[in-house]
Structure 1
């Protein structure tokens, strides 16, 4: 089940999508709905267990640009590119399942054997660590306030003082942060729904990850309609999650991230999907 903007719930059926890397490899398999395919579980290079032979199955929640989103019929983005490196090391192909974000906190799809790992721009928190094991951090994140220009606000304090409506994506740290600041934010199912809520006036401002906001503002219409407000430092770091105790896969993910940072691959992927490297890095 997936939370909608009004706090109601609707049935959600996971669907299989494919990465640009998989498409380039000429894969012919097509799957819909839930399940692990006909091949069943297997082992990747190094004896790493996988839920489907020859595949590294990733649970994500689409869309969440620039981390994972559909472009020209393929699923691409920062997270996708990093997990493709893991899959390459394991001599398998990445396969992506679009699933409800709320299940990432519980590790439900990992525990059920539907996915090997979860990758969705997900912040590492102590609460989530109770249910899943995280990789080493792969991204330092901040939140940002984006407001309609007509609202005239640029800070959360102004949103509160003007008694304006604030929105956030459901089950995210942005929503948690807003709640912790005394707001009762309108919860939207996806980042696309957050943006649409701002466009249609359902909310006056939103709190969401800064890279997502920056991606939105590349669109001229968005840049004209919205104002980028305060940057909110929350000390967040993103990690990929695996089932509790899946140490072999976690170690393989950690190795791929560290190797990519050491040989410059990480920087190239960062610049491609996020933008210029943070100050102090080259």
Structure 2
């Protein structure tokens, strides 16, 4: 697969300045016109992703960004015959479409559920993963189902479908800016349970001795890759790459590796985030994932 490099610093709101669109270079037969400025920078596919969000994207012990989404991004970059650059970006900028519209990246690949609201701000690929919500609870919280959450504090990640579900259900909700802090909040006793995508919480449950997976919530969610609303050429190329991954069996191999077999790279704390205890201030920041 294509080699990738990681942007050294997260992109904040002040850094979402527009970049000059640069057309991809054409081949010897002059195919540059067909590219129609498909990428911001010729020869490089820039992908916005909110790190960490294991197993979709996170730092391994060597400080490299790895994960299910990253493997897919590498396959897409290889199909386009370009280099991959991961641009760490807060999820609010991703799910709102701001990161794409400001040309911070060409694609957003960040475990993002396709919703009607988001589809109004960006162009989605065909779904690449089916996903539901799930309930994770502390082992000593005496939670056997969603019905047991009354009077308990439920942790969610801000701006996610899990946060929407928990809020609409009327639970006592506490927001966290990313999934790592959400899980830390559950393990430290700040919250009694957590609601989020089953692909994330199921993975975390397998890594924890203090929490257990309780229940799947059938919401019929699907994850998609997004580009600027007008960039149909790039999304067509993404869909072709995804279709090839499906037909070759590569997508199933990745799903098995990241979600079922459990033989994945160990998490590290390259940005100092994985080792930090969640704080009251951190729990109220306005970025999230999913």
Is the structural similarity TM-score above 0.5? Answer: yes
The question of whether the paired residues in 2 share the 8 Å contact of 1:39 and 1:53 is answered with: no
Q: Aligned with 1:151: secondary structure? A: coil
Deviation at 1:35, TM superposition (A): 7.5
In structure 1, what is the equivalent of residue 243 of structure 2?
Answer: 258
Deviation at 1:104, TM superposition (A): 2.2
**Of 194, 197, 218, which residue of structure 1 is paired with 2:206?**
218
Q: Aligned with 2:59: secondary structure? A: strand
Deviation at 1:21, TM superposition (A): 4.6
Residue by residue over 1:64-97, the C-alpha shift from the partner in whole angstroms, topping out at 9 and shown as x without a partner, is 1111111122111111111111111111111111
Distance 1:217 1:44, change over 3 A: farther
Residue by residue over 1:30-83, the C-alpha shift from the partner in whole angstroms, topping out at 9 and shown as x without a partner, is 7556489x9972316761621122210011111111111111221111111111
Q: Aligned with 2:236: secondary structure? A: helix
TM-score normalized with structure 1 length: 0.81
Give, in whole Å, the separation in 2 of the partners of 1:128 and 1:252: 21
Give, in whole Å, the separation in 2 of the partners of 1:176 and 1:30: 30
The question of whether the paired residues in 1 share the 8 Å contact of 2:2 and 2:78 is answered with: no
Aligned-residue Cα RMSD (Å) equals: 2.3
Q: Aligned with 1:272: secondary structure? A: helix
In structure 2, what is the equivalent of residue 201 of structure 1?
Answer: 189
Judging by fraction of residues, say which structure has more strand. 1
**Of 68, 72, 78, which residue of structure 1 is paired with 2:68?**
78
**Which 4+ stretches in 1 moved above 6 angstroms?**
none
The question of whether the paired residues in 2 share the 8 Å contact of 1:44 and 1:92 is answered with: no
The question of whether the paired residues in 2 share the 8 Å contact of 1:40 and 1:53 is answered with: no
**Of 210, 219, 243, which residue of structure 1 is paired with 2:228?**
243
Deviation at 1:193, TM superposition (A): 0.6
Residue by residue over 1:130-170, the C-alpha shift from the partner in whole angstroms, topping out at 9 and shown as x without a partner, is 1011000000001111111111102221011xx00001000
The question of whether the paired residues in 2 share the 8 Å contact of 1:103 and 1:109 is answered with: yes
Q: What are the ranges of 5 or more consecutive residues in structure 1 without an aligned counterpart?
A: 1-19, 277-282
Distance 1:82 1:184, change over 3 A: same
In structure 2, what is the equivalent of residue 8 of structure 1?
Answer: none
Range 174-183 or range 128-137, more displaced: 174-183
Distance 1:233 1:96, change over 3 A: same
The count of corresponding residues between Structure 1 and Structure 2 is: 248
Give, in whole Å, the separation in 1 of the partners of 2:25 and 2:212: 47
Distance 1:94 1:148, change over 3 A: same
Q: Aligned with 2:123: secondary structure? A: strand
Q: What are the ranges of 5 or more consecutive residues in structure 2 without an aligned counterpart?
A: 27-33, 262-290
TM-score normalized with structure 2 length: 0.79
**Of 144, 160, 167, which residue of structure 2 is paired with 1:172?**
160
